[in-house]
Amino acid sequence: MPANNSNTLLQGLADRDPRAIGKAISVVENNGDGVTEILAGLDRKQIEDVLVLGITGPPGAGKSTLTSSLISQLRSDEKRVGIIAIDPSSPISGGAILGDRVRMMQHALDQDVVVRSMATRGRLGGLCASAGATVRIMAASGCEVIIIETVGVGQSEMDIVRLADITLMVLAPGFGDDIQAMKAGLLEVADFLIVNKSDLGGADALVMDMKQIFAAKEEESGIPRVLQSIASEDKGIKDILDGVQRFTTYLTANNIKVERRKKAMQGETLDWIFEMLRPALTEKLETQTDQGQKDPRVRAKEMIQQLLSVD
């Protein structure tokens, strides 16, 4: 892409042009011409100021309904919002369900809601890299809050959520063994635990159970971290955003937000390295004649040593 075209695209982002936003994200996803110029030309101040929320949790907990309700409340507060919906995709066809985009249709006509669905296509590293760049493009287009909604609670979701400043884990009563299995991970990844569908039986017991797990976090920050919602009725949404705002202030005051973003950038840099090296490494593997004679780990170590020894 010629420099003047990149400049036109950057101006389009500054003007909040939906077509420019979509094209810029597509260029990044496809590693197209001009990607370096576009990413280097983004407004750094807007990127620093944006709040990135990660929303994860098991299927059926109501993540998409909660996300939609959060958007409605943020828009009532006159915030420009970006949504990155991570969709599962077929490892064979690469096609994505894009169901989250369907659920966001009530916001489709709002020029201050930018929605992008991103298919996993079985490539975690490339997806993380693209998602991080998409966050910055949305921020440069004036989005003040960006929500990354993931498809579940597997390793890929945890890696993607690391891009967020604050992570909300959404649960609902009745998940039983799934919740028990997730408890250790909750302590590591979640900043807030949202008990959605809290009008269902077992909600109060789940809240009490989660409060015990989050007790240390709540004591450290002085901010309640286990909240309840009925997203389908827009109940509890304002309390969630109030808690997020208080926690954002806490993170900023204690320099935690800066440190989180530093680690996120380091991880994303590695993702880009892996993504850029993958085609060349694949080609090299296919041309090797000793594929059946060496253990894969041994071959991998040799290839890394060859790469690192290049002057």
Q: What is the pLDDT of residues 4-25, one digit of tens each?
A: 588 999 999 999 999 999 999 9
pLDDT tens digits for 119-139? 765 555 556 678 899 999 999
pTM given for the model: 0.87
Give the per-residue pLDDT at 97: 45
Reported as a single tens digit per residue, the pLDDT across 278-306 is 888 888 888 877 666 778 888 888 888 88
Question: For 64-116, what is each residue's pLDDT tens digit?
Answer: 899 999 999 999 999 999 999 887 654 444 444 444 555 566 787 899 999 99
Domain 43-257 has what CATH class?
A: alpha beta
The CA–CA distances, whole Å, from 29 to 4, 25, 44, 213 equal 21, 6, 20, 38
- Whole-number pLDDT of residue 300: 85
Between the alpha carbon of residue 143 and those of residues 7, 20, 147, 250, the distances in Å are 20, 14, 10, 22
At 232-249, the pLDDT tens digits run 999 999 999 999 999 999
Sequence ranges of the domains in the chain: 1-41, 43-257, 266-308
Query: Residue 185: pLDDT above 80?
Result: no
